[in-house]
Amino acid sequence: MASGFFALLDDIAVLMDDVVAMSKISTKKTAGILGDDLAVNAEKATGFVASRELPVLWAITKGSALNKLIILPIAFLLSAFLPIAVTIALVLGGLYLAYEGVEKIYEFFFHRKEASPNHVYADKTLSEEEQREAEKKKIKSAIFTDFILSVEIVIIALGTVLEKPILFQVLVVSIVCIIATVGVYGIVALIVRMDDFGYRLIRLSSNGKGVLALLGNFLVRALPLVIKSLAVIGTIALILVAGGIFVHNIEYLHHFLETLPSILRDFIVGLLVGIVTLILVKGFKTIFLSKKN
């Protein structure tokens, strides 16, 4: 009986080792979306008065957790009873990621606008009720965006363990979702408070001089650059993730440009598919608007 108990513990240990290993792989696969999620939510959580940034971020975090609680059971049911639907959803998600990444590049080159950050939520001319209403709208917008990104995260993570038993899938994908929620929003919290921490350091310095003031000024000036950098990195990662999805799930693309390094091949495939998708979407929009007018 004792030997059976220890054998059970050994099986659990082996299972957890496999789960941790696959969780690392799944997290790498979803890194592009996590980067985009980080950039989007860093932007969504800024523009408020300092005292409201963390409460707003906490509200978005709770909404994100609820999104995943809704998505996970549906994804596991599909995996158990209709696994082909997960693959189809994975490829469709790849199309969306490629489109989103290429659209950002298109907007940057052809519709770039010099605009200052939106601080309407911190506008002192608005009444407290108006500020709260504007805050609620921005929170709802952030949670809706998170829902779309969460679907992609769950599907991509599930796609890496689709051949595994359902318990294994549940453990791996759940771990990835916890990392996605706690990790992303924890980093966002640090980012949005970076400038406030910088101002504190400046105030603690003697007459705005010295090491503290230098570090404080660096943090204040670095915040907008960090957010912009995350947007760029997130865009590149979206195209890479999309390309990887197509290469690994579409037979025709398995041997496409296989002489190139995999990261370059994934980027080229994601970029080409994103360009085609963008052209089709723009074309359909133009036809729809012309018929409407």
Note the pLDDT of residue 216: 84
By residue range, what is the domain housing residue 141?
2-292
**For the chain, what is the mean pLDDT?**
76
Estimate the share of the chain in helix, then strand, then coil, as percent rounded to the nearest 5. 85, 0, 15
- Tell me the β-bridge partners of 209: 206
Phi, psi of 116 (to 5 degrees): -80, 160
Contacts of 275 (CB under 8 A, 6+ apart): 102
How does pLDDT run across 67-88, given as a tens digit for each residue? 889 988 988 888 888 888 878 8
Query: Which of these, 166, 179, 239, lies nearest to 25 by C-alpha position?
Result: 179
- Tell me the β-bridge partners of 124: none
What's the structural domain count of the chain?
A: 1
How does pLDDT run across 260-271, given as a tens digit for each residue? 888 898 899 999
pLDDT at 174 over 80: yes
C-alpha to C-alpha distance for 67 and 136, rounded to whole angstroms:
17
Q: Under a CB-based contact definition with an 8 Å cutoff, are residues 274 and 98 in contact?
A: yes
Q: What tokens were used for 284?
A: 């359909």
Contacts of 229 (CB under 8 A, 6+ apart): none
The vertex-55 CA angle with 50 and 59, nearest 5°, equals: 140
Q: At which residue do the structure tokens 């992303």 appear?
A: 184
The three-class DSSP label of residue 292 is helix
Output 166 or 103, whichever has higher pLDDT. 103
| Helix spans in 160-193 (H) | 166-178, 184-192
Note the pLDDT of residue 102: 92
pLDDT at 20 over 60: no
Note the pLDDT of residue 35: 65
C-alpha to C-alpha distance for 278 and 224, rounded to whole angstroms:
28
Maximum average pLDDT range among 47-61, 67-81, 116-130, 232-246: 67-81
pLDDT at 238 over 50: yes
- Tell me the β-bridge partners of 206: 209
C-alpha to C-alpha distance for 240 and 31, rounded to whole angstroms:
10
pLDDT at 158 over 70: yes
CB atoms within 10 A of CB 112: 8
Contacts of 196 (CB under 8 A, 6+ apart): 50
How many Cα atoms are found within 13 Å in the side-chain-facing hemisphere of 135? 22
